[in-house]
Amino acid sequence: MTAIIPDLIRKKRDGLEHTREELETLVLGYTRGDVPDYQMSAWLMAVFLRGMAEQETADLTMVMAESGDLMNLGDLPRTVDKHSTGGVGDKTSLILTPMLAALGQTVAKMSGRGLAHTGGTIDKLESIPGWTSELEEEQFLTQAREIGLALVGQSRDLAPADGKLYALRDVTATVDCLPLIASSIMSKKLASGAHTVVLDVKVGAGAFMRTLDAGRGLARAMVDIGTRAGRQVRAVLTDMDTPLGHMAGNSLEVLEALATLRGEGPTDLTELCVALAVEALAAQGEDETAAEARARATLQDGSALAKFRAFIAAQGGDATYVDDVSKFDVAPGRADVTAPESGFVAGIDALSVGRAVLVLGGGRERKGEAIDHGVGVELLRKPGEAVRAGEPVLRIYHRGGRGLDAATRLLTEGLTLGAQAPAPEPLILDRVF
């Protein structure tokens, strides 16, 4: 069998298109261990340099999705999944998923842990004692049916080809390749089974996609893959130059999510959650104006917060944390980064904030490392706001000074002041469907 692999590598090297059968030979062979790393590495680099056609990318995605178990959400009504390409301070899933449940949708979702400078929903929720992401399939489905929201960790049996390929891409400089990113993300979404998928494609300093054009290309590719597979898929492109909301770090982000669920959240975060909820409903044919009014109402009338409370309790969490936020373990150490001169905040680099949380102990460099849920960074000011020399702009929550010097350095470097207020940038840059 391996005899034909060089022919397939040559075919991609020469810029030709693979058939679905050829992709099965490569990808399933690699997943089984029949195709060695060196041949798959050569093929990945050929893809990186030559790209992939639309149908070919869709076929690759299906092959990866079908490389393991396919989640059967059975007859659950109006199943919705959401994916963000990863950001700093991005706690949207914590807010959007109970909003969707309150809107009569069913969210039976797999979420990830944080890696490097980006956070993960599972880590954030584990700030609430007792909450677990480990549910048996039957409980997962029953809870989704009863509450409209159930959330588990990524199963190893879901799109296993992606897990293996991603690890190989990571060490062969082939991660930042549009068809490979699109197929990686969408293979997991398709295997997870939801009928409607909303994608939040982050663009900017803290994101995979640095430019709007690159982000649009990725969004288009993912929407096309999902549509070809018979799903309702919509994407929004959002700015990730600056962290979302005011908080970065696990407990701090849950606190901000709870404030948003009470209708008291920061504008950017609230607007993004409403926009994503509207996309989910509009994808199913609902009028956008009506959808927006319904989505906003869930944050004002307590219905999204009630769903969140029920969801936390159902997964073993201490639901009293939802109503008594003083219970959260927030690291007691405080240090402020102040403005060196008077002016306007021109930028707070999301990547620097993400890295600061990491060095404080709130993230992990490698899978499986323990994290400190209580540390983090608060943006006391956001870009566009005036500040006087010596006033605090960023607040560090640290534990016993761990990582404090490095975090202070990162945040100081990531803060830009200007003499004039920068032109306001919209958070939502574009929509693709």
Nearer to ligand URA, 208 or 397 (CB): 208
- In 258-390 the beta strands, taken as DSSP E runs, fall at 333-338, 343-348, 376-379, 386-387
Tokens of 87: 């950001």
Closest CB 218 distance from ligand URA, rounded Å: 9
**Binding residues with ligand URA: total (CB under 6 A):** 7
In the region spanning residues 253 to 282, those forming contacts with ligand URA, defined by CB under 6 A, are none
Catalytic residue among 124, 169, 189, 395: 169
What are 56's two structure tokens?
């070919």
Contact 389, 341 (CB under 8 A): yes
31 touching ligand URA, by CB under 6 A: no
Q: Active site includes 187?
A: no
Piece of the chain touching ligand URA by CB under 6 A; list 178-186, 234-242, 305-313, 318-326: 178-186
Q: Which residues, 6+ apart, have CB-to-CB distance to 394 below 8 Å?
A: 336, 337, 348, 353, 377, 378, 379, 380, 411, 415
Minimal distance, residue 44 CB to ligand URA, in Å: 11
Please indicate whether residue 336 is annotated as part of the active site. Answer: no
CA distances from 348 to 245, 246, 353, 385 (A): 12, 11, 8, 11
Q: Which of 83, 91, 189, 355 is catalytic?
A: 83
Q: Is 235 in the site for ligand URA (CB under 6 A)?
A: no
162 is catalytic: yes
| Residue among 44 and 377 whose Cβ is closer to ligand URA | 44
Are β-strands 392-398 and 428-432 bridged in parallel, bridged antiparallel, or unpaired?
A: unpaired
**Closer to ligand URA at the Cβ: 98 or 204?**
204
Report the C-alpha gap between 89 and 118 in whole angstroms. 8
Q: Could you tell me if 201 and 240 are in contact, meaning their C-beta atoms sit under 8 angstroms apart?
A: no
Number of Cβ within 10 Å of residue 112's Cβ equals: 18
Q: Which of 164, 154, 156 is nearest to 44 (CA)?
A: 164
**Is 83 considered catalytic here?**
yes
∠ CA(206), CA(208), CA(213), 5° rounding? 105
Verify binding: residue 185, ligand URA, rule CB under 6 A.
Answer: yes
CA 241/CA 351 separation, integer angstroms: 8
Rounded to 5 degrees, φ, ψ at 148 are 90, 5
Taking the least distance from each CB to ligand URA, the nearer of 166 and 433 is: 166
* 46 contributes a contact to ligand URA by CB under 6 A: no
Binding ligand URA (rule: CB under 6 A), the pick from 97, 111, 154, 184 is 184
Residue 27: helix, strand or coil by DSSP? Answer: helix
Nearer to ligand URA, 175 or 380 (CB): 175
Per-residue contact track with ligand URA, 74 to 113, x per CB under 6 A? -----------x----------------------------
Question: Residue 33 burial (CB < 10 Å; 0-12/13-18/19+)?
Answer: exposed
The length of the chain is 433
- Cβ nearer to ligand URA, comparing 180 with 407: 180
Establish whether 90 is a catalytic residue: no
Least spacing, CB of residue 197 vs ligand URA, in Å: 13
Torsion angle defined by CA atoms of residues 241, 115, 376 and 251, in that order, rounded to the nearest 10 degrees: 110
Name the segment binding ligand URA (CB under 6 A); options: 60-68, 122-130, 180-188, 254-262.
180-188
Extract the tokens encoding 261.
């669920």
Within 10 A of 192 (CB to CB), how many other CB atoms are there? 22
**Between 185 and 257, CB nearer to ligand URA:** 185
CB of 222 to ligand URA, least distance (A): 11
Tell me which stretch binds ligand URA (CB under 6 A): 41-49, 140-148, 181-189, 302-310: 181-189
What's the closest the beta carbon of residue 363 comes to ligand URA, in angstroms?
Answer: 16
Site string for ligand URA, 204-223 (x = CB under 6 A): ----x---------------
Question: Which residue is nearest to ligand URA, using beta carbons?
Answer: 184
* DSSP β-ladder status, 415-418 and 333-338: unpaired
The overall longest dimension of the chain from CA atoms, in Å, is 69
- The helix (H) or strand (E) run that includes residue 369 is none
The nearest distance, CB 169 to ligand URA, in angstroms, is 7
Instruction: State yes or no: residue 203 binds ligand URA (CB under 6 A).
Output: no
Residue 181 is a binding residue for ligand URA (CB under 6 A):
yes
CB of 187 to ligand URA, least distance (A): 9
Active-site residue list: 83, 162, 169, 184, 188
- Residues of this chain that interact with ligand URA (CB under 6 A) are 85, 166, 180-181, 184-185, 208
